[in-house]
Structures are given as C-alpha cells and as structure tokens.
Amino acid sequence: MAKLSDAMKLTKNKIFMNLELKDPRVDLVFPYITKLIEEHDFFDQISLSSFNHAYYYKIREYNKKNNRNLVFGFIYGKNASNFFDFTKTGSSMNIYWREASKKVCDKAHQNGMAVLTWFDMKEEENEAIFNYLIENGVDIICSNEPLLARKYINYYNYKKR
C-alpha cells in the first residue's frame, strides 16, 4: 500500500495536491500530516481540505505559531447553500461541481478565496463539464479522471493561444 510520504516524493515539484482529511481524530492526524509536509517541504504544493471544519482551526493555529501559510479549503456537500457563511475566513472552498456557477466563483474570488470542485465517484466526467468549470472561473478541478482532465486542460490552453 502506498503511503502519503511516497506520493509526496513522487510528485515533488510536479503537481499541486489537494489532501482531503477525513479522519475525525483531528488531534491525532494533524501533527502527522504537518510533519510530512515539513519533511518534504511540500508547503507550496498542497492544500488541506475537509468536511470537518475543526481542521481549519488547527491550521490557523499552526500557521500563526510557525509563521507559515498552509492552505485550508472548506468542503461542502451537494446542494449546500451556506458556502459564504464559514468560508470568509478560509483560503478556498471545495464544492460539488454542479454548484460552481459563475456567480459563486466570482463571489469567492471577490472574498479572496480559490474555488475547487469535486465529483461524485459515480459520475462520468467529460470535456463539456471541464469547459463549464473553467469558463465559470474554477481554480482547481479535483477529478477522479486526472488523465482525462489533464488532456482537456492542455487542449483548452492550446485553443486559447
């Protein structure tokens, strides 16, 4: 089984990683994660995200104590309507892709937040969806089909030249 440290070694200076923290044991998990980030000097290529917003407070405390800028994104479920109730203090918001309207993306950017989108594992991703997200201003697409997403983004960037 691959470990997070192995993934960091393989992807160092190659990709930006969004690490979703699912474990509810924040006090146990958070020190382990920050230790790995420090060991691999991964600060500039990782965003931590979670439905458990308690991680935000840990990151805020960590950043203040260590003079760092570790990024945290609040994840919201499908059909969420309270994106801006809590995220005014976060670096980003991670929302279900269908919620990423132009209006939501513009408001997030006005509040200094990046917009990340995610897909349900059962959904089929395609170029039309990627185009919709890019055109609406999504900053990061968290895809279950990264090779398809990369292929489309390369095509999109080529087309825009």
Q: What are phi and psi for residue 92, nearest 5 degrees?
A: -155, 165
Q: What are phi and psi for residue 148, nearest 5 degrees?
A: -65, -45
Contact present, 74 and 93 (Cβ < 8 Å)? yes
CA distance 132 to 35: 37
Per-residue model confidence (pLDDT) at position 65: 96
Per-residue model confidence (pLDDT) at position 30: 95
Contact present, 139 and 114 (Cβ < 8 Å)? yes
Domain spans of the chain, in order of start: 16-75, 80-161
Q: Which two tokens stand for residue 119?
A: 């897909």
Per-residue model confidence (pLDDT) at position 1: 53
The stretches in the chain having pLDDT less than 70 are 1-2, 81-90, 158-161
Q: Which two tokens stand for residue 47?
A: 């965003």
Contact present, 28 and 54 (Cβ < 8 Å)? no
Per-residue model confidence (pLDDT) at position 148: 81
Give residue-wise pLDDT tens across range 57-101: 999 999 999 999 888 888 877 777 666 665 556 678 888 999 999
